[in-house]
Amino acid sequence: MAEQGRLFPERDAHRSNRTSFDGGDASGHRGRLRKRLMQGGEDALADHEVIEYLLMVARPRIDTKPIARSLIQRFGSLAGVLNADPQALALHPNMGDTSAAALRIVGLAARRLARTVVREQPVLSNWQALLDYLHIDMAHLNVERVRVLYLNTQNMLILDHLVGDGTLDESPIYTREVVKKGLDVGAAAMILVHNHPSGSPKPSRADIQVTQKIMEASRLMGMTVHDHIVIGREGHVSLKAQGLI
> Are both 136 and 198 inside the same structural domain?
yes
Residue of 103, 92, 102, 101 whose CA lies nearest to 67: 92
Asked if residue 244 is part of any domain, the answer here is no
Structural domain harbouring 36: 2-109
> Are both 205 and 105 inside the same structural domain?
no
Q: Which amino acid is at 180?
A: K
pLDDT in tens, 196-227: 988 899 999 989 999 999 999 999 999 999 99
Beta strands 189-195 and 224-232, pairing class: parallel
d(CA 35, CA 118): 32
Based on C-alpha coordinates, what's the Rg of the chain?
24
Asked if residue 87 is part of any domain, the answer here is yes
Q: Which helix (H) or strand (E) holds 117?
A: helix 97-120
CATH number at residue 210: 3.40.140.10
Residue 36: predicted pLDDT: 86
Asked if residue 116 is part of any domain, the answer here is no
> Are both 146 and 88 inside the same structural domain?
no
Final residue before a domain boundary, out of 109, 140, 170: 109
d(CA 145, CA 219): 24
Final residue before a domain boundary, out of 52, 74, 109: 109
> Are both 89 and 187 inside the same structural domain?
no
Three-state DSSP at 114 gives helix
Three-state DSSP at 129 gives helix
> Are both 86 and 165 inside the same structural domain?
no
Q: Which residues pair with 69 in a beta bridge?
A: none
* 22 CB neighbour count, 10 Å cutoff: 9
Full DSSP string of 134-187: HHHHHTT-SS-EEEEEEE-TT--EEEEEEEEE-SSS-----HHHHHHHHHHTT-
pTM: 0.72
Residue 169: predicted pLDDT: 57
Final residue before a domain boundary, out of 59, 81, 109: 109
d(CA 152, CA 41): 38
Per the structure, the count of domains in the chain is 2
Low-confidence ranges of the chain (pLDDT < 70): 1-27, 167-172
